[in-house]
Structure 1
Amino acid sequence: WLEANPKAPFADVARTLATRSRGRSKAVVPATDVESAIEGLRRVAEGSAGPGIVSVDSPLAQGPVWIFSGYGSQHRKMGKDLLALSPVFRETLEKCDEVIKDSVGWSLIEKILDDGQTYDLESAQIGITAIQVAQTDMMRAMGAEPAAVLGMSMGEIAAAYAGGGLTLEETLRVACARSRLMGEGESMLSEDELGGMAMVELSVEELDELLAEHPEFAGVEPAVYAAPGMTTVGGPQAAIAAIVEYLTGEGKMARPLAVKGAGHTSALDPLLGELWSECADIEPTPLTVPLFSSVDRGVTYQPGDVVHDADYFVRCTRQSVWFSDAVSRACAAGYTTFVEFAPNPVALMPTMATAFAAGLPDAQLIHLLKRKESAGESIAAACATLYGHGHDIDLGALTGPGPHADLPGMSWRHQRFWTSARPASGGRAKLPGSRTTLPGGDIAYAGDAAVAPSSHAVIDAAIADAVPGARVLAVEEPGTLPQSGEITTVVSPHPGGAVVSVYSVTGAPGATELVARASVTTIDSVAAAAAAAGGD
């Protein structure tokens, strides 16, 4: 159709396709014009891959897990292009900005729009949370919903909003309080007092053994258990430098991180009391979806649980982050699609490593935004992957309002699928029923409606018994096959085939109602008719 209508308005074609009924197999082709659409559709028809093409034979059993990552995803232009692209994102970010201005006295939107400003610890953490909240509302406006949520470190705050545990205002209040206290604490430290962090190639048990055997690493504490064999540690700068040097010498990966503090360690103890006080008056609400907690190891909170009080966010700030454990539980629960909400993906790599260790090498890992990738491309690719795998996406929200193209409908392949299997018992319990030859040559069958899946099945059974080799030309169904009771099927042969009539026997003596009638013909009679007409 596209080849025959190359000048068709492309957006109109997309709007029409967005309204079509969806089957179990789905494909999405990214295209900006008719030519690229034709090329992509050909690839789908041929079963070959192509850039951005999503083609899936059947939907996934479980919905997606929405992952909210922590500190580290910030960058100078985060959220700027999405602010201009999505009205829903902008509206929610403006709501967040009002809370931010009231809590800490500066505007996030002004910072996003002014390339001359930079992010520090406080503004980066608040900015990440606000962007995650706005992404949540944007995706919901496009029909997406989480089957479960999962937070990494400070990502637990936005996960609380997505999971129904906090309102938007309370979410930003928690984020502002936590970020302000951490920023103030960092600014009061001298260079010698600043902490450090590093990513090391050690498991939970290996790290515990190493710290127990090497007193020179005193002060080093586990901060984030990101993935199997991937752990972030924090502590005094000298101790962090020493453990990095030691592990590098042992042939293990050890990389210091560009931070000035030691998050999720005892270095944060002095601010925990004030953080609790700042969060004491929030009123958490029951979860609407499961929460795979990275705060409380091994715990999955269920819908209806009330989780997000001041104590939870104090634990979230101070305790080690059990991210790998949370992802492992999600995998064990059957989830295979993970969507990261962040300005830039930082949690998908440890998620991939954890899923692979859990026996899911083909888990779907989706980002919503990525540095140096246009927001439109990222969101479109995320929605295509979600839709292709059977997750909820409102394609109409993507195509927007406007006229629709008059496209052809579904092309159906006509094929009969009635099974040849029949009940094994005899008499009426076996279709078409007990047989009687009537005066005049008609054949009648007395059968049981309870064993007949449909009138078509009764007709097929009668043909197989009385007119072997015949095929059905047409079927009319003026009545409905009863669920139980007696049915009578009459086969009336004629030179070209037969007429098969199915009747339901009503309560009155001798009373029947026509359920279905079929005209059938034999293969030989069709060949004879073709020969008489001069055919081969």
Structure 2
Amino acid sequence: HRLAVRGDTVAALTGALDDWLAGPRPRPAGTGGVGFLCTGQGSLHRGAARPLYGRFAVVREVLDACERQFADLTGGGSILGPLLGDTGGADPGEPVLDTEVAQPALFALQCALVRLWREAGVEPDVVAGHSVGEYGALYAAGALSAEDGLRLTAGRGRLMRERCAPGAMVAVPTDTHTARRLAAEVPGVELAVMNGEHSQVLAGPAAAMARLTELLAERGIHARTLPMLHAFHTAVMDPALDGLRELVGGVEPRPVRVPFVSGLDGRTRPAGWVPDADYLVRQTREPVRFADVLGELGASYDNVGTLVEIGPHTTLSGLARHALPGRAAHPTLRRGAGLAPLWDTAAGLYRAGAPVDWRAFMAGTGGRRIPLPGYRFQHKDYWTGPENHLPRPAQPEQPVLREQPTRDGAEVAQDEAAVERVLQHIIKVTAKHLSYDTSEIAEDASFFDLGADSLQMIGVLRELEEEHRVKVSMRELFEEAGTARGLAVIIAGKATPAPATAAFPAPVAAPAPVAEAERRAAHDTPPAPVDATRQDAYATREDAYATRQEVEELRRQLQQLTQVQLQLMGQLSQLLTAQAGR
């Protein structure tokens, strides 16, 4: 599983974590497949880019370049002014931008959003767009450059303003059959957009739409007039089509790099498809079938678990959540919400398994990653080496007696019981400090494998020392113990009086080489005894492999040493940072 929460205060973060814990069981992180949905013109508003422009260099780079190009194309016009301007308390339902500005401004914003997500490591596996939003989708798919797309959208908007009569568009919550019947009752009105099972848009000339609005009110049908100055996707667009065909002929679109789901028919254009003038003219005149687009995404893209709306407001993401309840759908921006939707969407993508690069979002802010305890992965054994292969060591011929502690059966049993009591207490204390259940603490699991850091282990040791009246150094913990059982043996040994001693055969010295024997004889120095047990365990074995136990022990020690070093380095970094901030 992956978890990401957002908050501006400690209380907000802890509250978000508590909400997650109290919520339903989360689904495992998926494959991270992402779809981009590029919004149409109706969602654009003044100041839409303001939260992003001052925060992200890549957004400024894209929008500034588009601003310069638009000024060249129009003789001094501006798209950046409206994108960064104040809404001035305008009614969200009122059109705030002329079509010739709104279309290139929307495209420029979508280019900036696509670039921002790419900087953060998020690339689409499929793209789709709504109406003029298809130009943004073609940019995301690699078919249009930012320069060509801006030239086309600016020219498209200019042609519509100059050649098309005023019109209107009305959203009606009804099915397509009823919508077509309503359109047939008022000459000039057409079904322009099919967004969902009960979400249609009717459009036509201004006078005809005024009559339709009266008809809907008479029948008690709630309708919402959209902030549009033209009747897109109707016969009102016909005067602009020849000019648009000529305009598109001046650019050379490239093949799409990722699948593109068309709003013309809801079908996928696979990677390699090239949009031509005929396609772009048809998608201007014919109805938008976005309900079919969502149906195609649901039926053909099981690998895409998250849909991200590329646009200034939450429009398509709402439609997607309703039509595809099994998929996550997030907006990048929402009117009046600042950057909060962006952060929430980044968190959602991360939880879904997308490779979000948080450094791209944090660049230039002073934000940094904070080291936290690691995750205790459920390790499985995949040993592929040989089985144990040790020659049996020879027995010493003449054992030498030395003093060793005597251990009768009762004392050994007593010591084992003491270790077991201490072990159970260590497991309980460790579980408390690391927020585990006691059943999750294996006695032979490394503390670092459990996700503990050195600061947490100091707290564990302090509580154990107070309870058992012993002192355990950090060196003993890290170098000699490392696990709950190892620590229990140390603590039980410190708390138990040393037993009496008795004679016990000591290991004999190994035969010294001749040169060494002569040197010792010359100095009259008796040879030091060698621990035969240790010699047996690590004897030279020309025909032997390293055993599995030896490899595992070496691996454990190296891993433990590495973890200690990393923890110390992390704490040193925190101390230096805190010191520098004073």
The TM-score range, normalised by the shorter chain, is 0.5 to 0.7
**CA deviation vs aligned residue, 1:17-66 (integer Å, no higher than 9, x gap):** xxxxxxxx11112133445444544554x3448xxxxx944123461211
Distance 1:31 1:236, change over 3 A: closer
Which residue in the other structure is 1:365 paired with? Answer: 329
Distance 1:111 1:270, change over 3 A: same
Distance 1:336 1:248, change over 3 A: farther
**CA deviation vs aligned residue, 1:245-292 (integer Å, no higher than 9, x gap):** 434444443333343321111111111111111111211111111111
CA shift for structure 1 position 350: 2.7
One-letter amino acid matched to 1:369 = L
Counterpart Cα distance in 2 of 1:78 and 1:408: 37
- Which of 388, 393, 418 is matched with 2:356 structurally? 393
Counterpart Cα distance in 2 of 1:316 and 1:179: 14
Counterpart Cα distance in 1 of 2:240 and 2:227: 22
Counterpart Cα distance in 2 of 1:386 and 1:366: 9
**CA deviation vs aligned residue, 1:323-382 (integer Å, no higher than 9, x gap):** 1111110011224422111122222333333x2xxxx3243121111111113x222111
One-letter amino acid matched to 2:327 = A
- Which of 196, 200, 204 is matched with 1:231 structurally? 200
Which residue in the other structure is 2:308 paired with? Answer: 339
Tell me if the contact between 1:227 and 1:351 (Cα under 8 Å) persists in the aligned partners. no
Distance 1:365 1:473, change over 3 A: closer
Counterpart Cα distance in 1 of 2:16 and 2:313: 28
Counting strand residues as a fraction of each chain, which structure ranks higher? 1
Tell me if the contact between 1:282 and 1:310 (Cα under 8 Å) persists in the aligned partners. no
What does 1:272-311 align with in structure 2 at a 5 Å threshold?
A: 272-295=241-264, 297-307=265-275, 309-311=276-278
Counterpart Cα distance in 1 of 2:361 and 2:141: 24
Unaligned runs of 5+ in 1: 1-24, 50-54, 419-431, 433-471, 476-510, 519-536
- The number of residue pairs the alignment matches comes to 391
CA shift for structure 1 position 96: 1.2
CA shift for structure 1 position 239: 3.0
One-letter amino acid matched to 1:284 = P
What TM-score, normalized by structure 1, do the two folds share?
A: 0.65
Distance 1:265 1:413, change over 3 A: closer
One-letter amino acid matched to 1:237 = A
Distance 1:29 1:269, change over 3 A: same
**CA deviation vs aligned residue, 1:429-459 (integer Å, no higher than 9, x gap):** xxx9xxxxxxxxxxxxxxxxxxxxxxxxxxx
Which residue in the other structure is 1:120 paired with? Answer: 98
**CA deviation vs aligned residue, 1:212-266 (integer Å, no higher than 9, x gap):** 5x4xx12111111111121111123343233344344444433333433211111
Distance 1:42 1:313, change over 3 A: same
Distance 1:151 1:33, change over 3 A: same
One-letter amino acid matched to 2:319 = P
One-letter amino acid matched to 1:264 = H
CA shift for structure 1 position 179: 0.7
**CA deviation vs aligned residue, 1:399-454 (integer Å, no higher than 9, x gap):** 33769677354252778789xxxxxxxxxxxxx9xxxxxxxxxxxxxxxxxxxxxx
Counterpart Cα distance in 1 of 2:128 and 2:26: 26
Which residue in the other structure is 1:107 paired with? Answer: 78
Distance 1:130 1:47, change over 3 A: same
Which residue in the other structure is 2:347 paired with? Answer: 384
Which residue in the other structure is 1:321 paired with? Answer: 288
Please say if 1:28 is aligned against 2:60: no
Counterpart Cα distance in 2 of 1:62 and 1:290: 16
One-letter amino acid matched to 1:221 = E
Which residue in the other structure is 1:240 paired with? Answer: 209
Aligned-residue identity in percent: 30
Please say if 1:330 is aligned against 2:297: yes
SS in 1 for 2:288: coil
Tell me the C-alpha RMSD between the 2 structures: 3.5
What does 1:492-531 align with in structure 2 at a 5 Å threshold?
A: 516=548
CA shift for structure 1 position 473: 10
Counting helix residues as a fraction of each chain, which structure ranks higher? 2
**CA deviation vs aligned residue, 1:48-89 (integer Å, no higher than 9, x gap):** 48xxxxx94412346121111111112221212311111100
One-letter amino acid matched to 1:235 = G
One-letter amino acid matched to 2:35 = V
What does 1:4-23 align with in structure 2 at a 5 Å threshold?
A: none
Which residue in the other structure is 1:205 paired with? Answer: 177
Distance 1:183 1:415, change over 3 A: closer
Tell me if the contact between 1:133 and 1:162 (Cα under 8 Å) persists in the aligned partners. yes
One-letter amino acid matched to 2:147 = E
Tell me if the contact between 1:72 and 1:346 (Cα under 8 Å) persists in the aligned partners. no
SS in 1 for 2:48: coil
Which residue in the other structure is 2:119 paired with? Answer: 141
**Greater C-alpha Rg:** 2
Counterpart Cα distance in 2 of 1:282 and 1:409: 54
Unaligned runs of 5+ in 2: 89-95, 388-441, 446-542, 551-582
Counterpart Cα distance in 2 of 1:314 and 1:89: 30
Distance 1:100 1:291, change over 3 A: same
Tell me if the contact between 1:264 and 1:318 (Cα under 8 Å) persists in the aligned partners. yes
Which residue in the other structure is 1:462 paired with? Answer: none
Which residue in the other structure is 2:47 paired with? Answer: 77
